[in-house]
């Protein structure tokens, strides 16, 4: 791990607008007024350049369309009535900049495991809806639910997302051990996204930079540096190497130089890192902004305050 007293260009490229603020969601689960205060404090702070959008459930936006002037990433199901209401809010000045669609919630009856055909059917309906209601200009992240077998499903779904010009969303954790995908699952997701040319965001369980076992829960938690390195390296390494990147638990394995970022002896030049942030790993949702910032400072990746 390279320690610096100045912000390196590679670190700025890696973390610019990376963290979408999810303070309304567990484990923080802040009341809306407090979450707004936390977000505005971060927007006015020295690390504001790392802050992305405010993540907001559509029902809260519908209750009070003008409640917040922040750039919003709205979580909504793909129901046509919901999409129509979001379109109307945009026309009246709502700051909706992205949509996140958990497609498992668009299936009736609701269930956790879906077939590839079900996922493709719902995704096709979603694509038609966002086109009908004039939402094509927004980044739309489709949260892909778990399915079996995972890899064949991912390949077909990612190819469909690429054809529809949609993005993907990876859930990396939750409130139980079962909510955390395995190293293989995360590796397969990143590899499939890279193969199809699909940009993605991640959410849940990524407060810390590097994969680790959480002392309080005993859960193995993924790291956002692991996800970043894997996304940047995916176009040029084999699956076995990619899995090692995702599984890495040594912070010293990741280094930032003036014009490059590296995992062990595999280096990513600045232009390729910028491309990975733009076209692969775009953002991740975190209910804490201060925690990942503090961790990066402790590792010497960001200069101290």
152-178 pLDDT, tens digit each: 788 889 999 999 999 999 999 988 888
Look at residue 304 and tell me if it is in a domain.
no
Q: What is the model's pLDDT at position 153?
A: 81
Residue span of the structural domain in which 185 resides:
9-298
**Exposed (0-12), middle (13-18) or buried (19+): which is 145, by Cβ within 10 Å?**
buried
Return the CATH number at 63: 3.20.20.70
Phi and psi of 77, rounded to 5°? -80, 170
Strands 96-102 and 140-143, sheet pairing: parallel
CA distance 198 to 160: 10
Angle subtended at Cα 265 by Cα 262 and Cα 269, rounded to the nearest 5 degrees: 40
- Give how many domains the chain has, as a whole number: 1
d(CA 187, CA 189): 5
Burial class (CB in 10 A: 0-12, 13-18, 19+), 235: middle
pLDDT at 112: 60
Q: Which parts of the chain register pLDDT below 50?
A: none
Dihedral of CA atoms 52, 55, 60, 63 in degrees, nearest 10, equals: 20
Residue 304 neighbours by CB distance under 10 Å: 8
Q: Is residue 3 part of a domain?
A: no
Q: Whole-model pTM?
A: 0.94
Q: To 10 degrees, what angle do helices 80-91 and 116-132 make?
A: 30
Is 305 a domain residue?
A: no
Q: What residues contact residue 219 under an 8 Å CB cut-off, 6+ apart? A: 173, 177, 180, 205, 213
CA 187 to CA 244: how far, in whole Å? 9
Residue 264 lies in a domain: yes
The answer to whether residue 4 sits within a structural domain is no
Please check whether residue 1 lies inside any domain of the structure: no
pLDDT at 106: 65
Question: Quick one: pLDDT at residue 176?
Answer: 86
Q: Tell me what pLDDT residue 108 has.
A: 56
- Which distant-in-sequence residues (6+ apart) come within 8 Å of 248 by Cβ? 210, 211, 223, 226, 229, 254, 263
Domain assignment present for residue 170? The answer is yes
Adjacent-strand bridge partners of 99: 74, 140
């Amino acid at each position: 791990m390279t320690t610096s007293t100045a912000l390196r260009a590679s670190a700025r490229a890696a973390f610019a607008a990376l963290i979408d603020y999810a303070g309304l969601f567990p484990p923080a689960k802040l009341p809306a007024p407090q979450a707004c205060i936390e977000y505005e404090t971060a927007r006015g702070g020295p690390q504001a350049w790392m802050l992305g959008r405010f993540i907001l459930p559509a029902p809260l936006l519908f209750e009070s369309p003008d409640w917040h002037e922040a750039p919003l990433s709205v979580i909504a199901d793909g129901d046509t009535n919901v999409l129509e209401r979001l379109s109307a809010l945009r026309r009246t000045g709502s700051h909706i900049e992205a949509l996140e669609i958990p497609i498992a919630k668009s299936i009736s009856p609701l269930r956790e495991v879906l077939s590839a055909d079900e996922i493709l059917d719902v995704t096709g309906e979603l694509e038609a809806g966002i086109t009908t209601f004039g939402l094509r200009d927004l980044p739309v992240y489709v949260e892909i639910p778990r399915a079996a077998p995972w890899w064949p499903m991912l390949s077909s779904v990612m190819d469909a997302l690429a054809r529809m010009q949609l993005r993907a969303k990876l859930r990396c954790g939750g409130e139980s051990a079962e909510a955390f995908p395995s190293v293989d699952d995360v590796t397969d997701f990143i590899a499939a996204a890279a193969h199809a040319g699909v940009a993605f965001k991640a959410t849940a369980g990524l407060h810390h930079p590097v994969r680790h076992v959480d002392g309080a829960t005993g859960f193995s938690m993924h790291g956002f540096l692991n996800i970043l390195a894997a996304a940047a390296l995916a176009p040029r390494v084999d699956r076995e190497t990619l899995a090692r990147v995702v599984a890495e638990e040594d912070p010293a394995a990741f280094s930032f130089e003036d014009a490059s970022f590296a995992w062990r002896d595999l280096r990513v030049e600045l232009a390729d890192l910028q491309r990975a942030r733009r076209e692969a790993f775009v953002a991740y949702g975190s209910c804490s902004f201060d925690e990942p910032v503090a961790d990066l400072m402790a590792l010497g990746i960001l200069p101290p305050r």
